[in-house]
A = this chain, B = another copy of it.
């Protein structure tokens, strides 16, 4: 039972948080490798990263893949998100929580940017 937790920054603009939730719905409908796909937010929206992780554990997932939905590896990616994950890791030592590389490092990002610029 693996959960994909997509972690976004969070915004004071609720429409922006809803944009992330809609993306998560779309990913869920196409994600064959994951039993569930959920969102969490570093700040300004809910659930928080710890709450998102606790919910996934409560639902019975033994493995959680955490994907930082960020384009650049600034301090949010290198320090703040790992610190939030670490809080919950210590609560559930038997659950595998794997923090993977942020979106901006994806190989296809250059082509996507060119597509967007040429659209």
Query: Is A69 touching B27 in the complex (CB atoms < 8 A)?
Result: no
Q: State whether the Cβ of A56 lies closer than 8 Å to any Cβ in chain B.
A: no
Give chain B residues whose Cβ lies under 8 Å from the Cβ of A114. Answer: 27, 30-31
Q: How many residues of A contact B (CB 8 A)?
A: 49
**Closest B-chain residue to A69, C-beta based?**
B71
Give chain B residues whose Cβ lies under 8 Å from the Cβ of A58. Answer: none
Query: Is B67 touching A113 in the complex (CB atoms < 8 A)?
Result: yes
Query: Is A116 touching B12 in the complex (CB atoms < 8 A)?
Result: no
Q: State whether the Cβ of A4 lies closer than 8 Å to any Cβ in chain B.
A: yes
Query: Is A33 touching B117 in the complex (CB atoms < 8 A)?
Result: yes
Give chain B residues whose Cβ lies under 8 Å from the Cβ of A110. Answer: 23, 26-27, 30
- Known contacts: A19-B72, A20-B72, A110-B27. The answer to whether A117 contacts B67 by CB under 8 A is yes
